[in-house]
Structure 1
Amino acid sequence: MDIQRQIPASFDRVQGNQYGYNAKQVDDFLQRARVSFEAPTSAARAIKSADVRAVSFDPVKGGYAASGVDAALDRLEDALARLERDELVAERGEEAWLREIGRLAGVLRGRLHRPDGQRFRRPSKPKARSYNTTDVDDLCHELIGYLEEDQPLSVDNVRRAVFRPAVGRDGYEESQVDAFLERAVELMAAID
Structure 2
Amino acid sequence: MVDEDLDVFDEKEETPAAFPLTAGRRRGYHRAAVDTFLEAARAAFEDGRDDFGAEDVRSASFPLVRHGYAIADVDAALGRVEDAFASRAREQAVRSMGVAGWVAKARKDAQSVLDHLARPAKHRFARTNRLAFGYRIGEVDHVADRISAFLRDGDALSVEQVRGAAFRMQRCGYREEQVDALLDATVEVMLAVR
What's the TM-score once normalised by structure 2's chain length? 0.84
1:158 matched to 2:162? The reply is yes
Provide, for residues 22-41 of structure 1, a one-character-per-residue CA deviation record: whole Å limited to 9, x for no partner: 1111111111222223232x
**Map 1:64-103 → 2, pairs under 5 A:** 64-103=69-108
- Residue number among 166, 172, 189 corresponding to 2:191 in the alignment: 189
Query: Matched residues in 2 for 1:24 and 1:180: separation?
Result: 30
Kindly state the Cα deviation for residue 181 of structure 1 after the two structures are TM-superposed. Answer: 1.0
Question: Which structure would you say has the larger Rg?
Answer: 2
Q: Which amino acid aligns with 2:55?
A: A
Q: Distance in 1 between matches of 2:169 and 2:121?
A: 17
Aligned to 2:153: 149
Contact 1:129 1:174 in 2 (8 A): no
Q: Which residue of 2 aligns with 1:174?
A: 176
Structure 2 spans left out of the alignment, 5+ residues: 1-16
1:126 maps to what in 2?
A: 130
Say if 1:33 and 1:46, in contact at 8 Å, map to a contact too.
no
Matching of residues 39-50 of structure 1 within 5 Å:
39-40=47-48, 46-50=51-55
In structure 2, give the amino acid aligned to 1:55: A
**Residues 21-61 of structure 1: CA distance to partner in whole angstroms, max 9, x if unpaired?**
11111111111222223232xx6x64200000011111222
How far residue 16 of structure 1 moved from its aligned partner, in angstroms, is 6.0
Tell me, in whole angstroms, the C-alpha distance in 1 between the residues paired with 2:20 and 2:155: 35
Specify the code of the residue in structure 1 equivalent to 2:137.
Answer: T
Contact 1:49 1:80 in 2 (8 A): yes
Distance (whole Å) between structure 2 residues aligned to residue 107 and residue 188 of structure 1: 13
Range 64-73 or range 100-109, more displaced: 100-109
Deviation (angstroms), 1:85: 0.2
Deviations 1:88-122 (A, max 9, x none): 11122112211221221122111111111111111
State the Cα RMSD in Å: 1.7
In the alignment, which residue of structure 1 is the partner of 2:14? none
Matches within 5 A, 1:18-57: 18-40=26-48, 46-57=51-62
1:16–1:47: structure 2 CA closer, same or farther, 3 Å change rule? Answer: farther
- Counterpart CA distance in 2 for 1:132 and 1:59 is 24
Which residue matches 1:5? none
User: Equivalent residue for 1:15?
Assistant: 23
Does structure 2 conserve the Cα–Cα contact (< 8 Å) formed by 1:15 and 1:62?
A: yes
1:112 and 2:120 are equivalent in the alignment: no
Shift of 1:17: 4.4
**Aligned residue pairs, count:** 178
TM-score normalized by the length of structure 1 = 0.85
Q: Secondary structure at 1:93's aligned position in 2?
A: helix
**1:139 is aligned to 2:153:** no
SS of 1:63's partner is coil
1:72-91 per-residue CA deviation (whole Å, 9 max, x = no partner) reads: 00111112111110111112
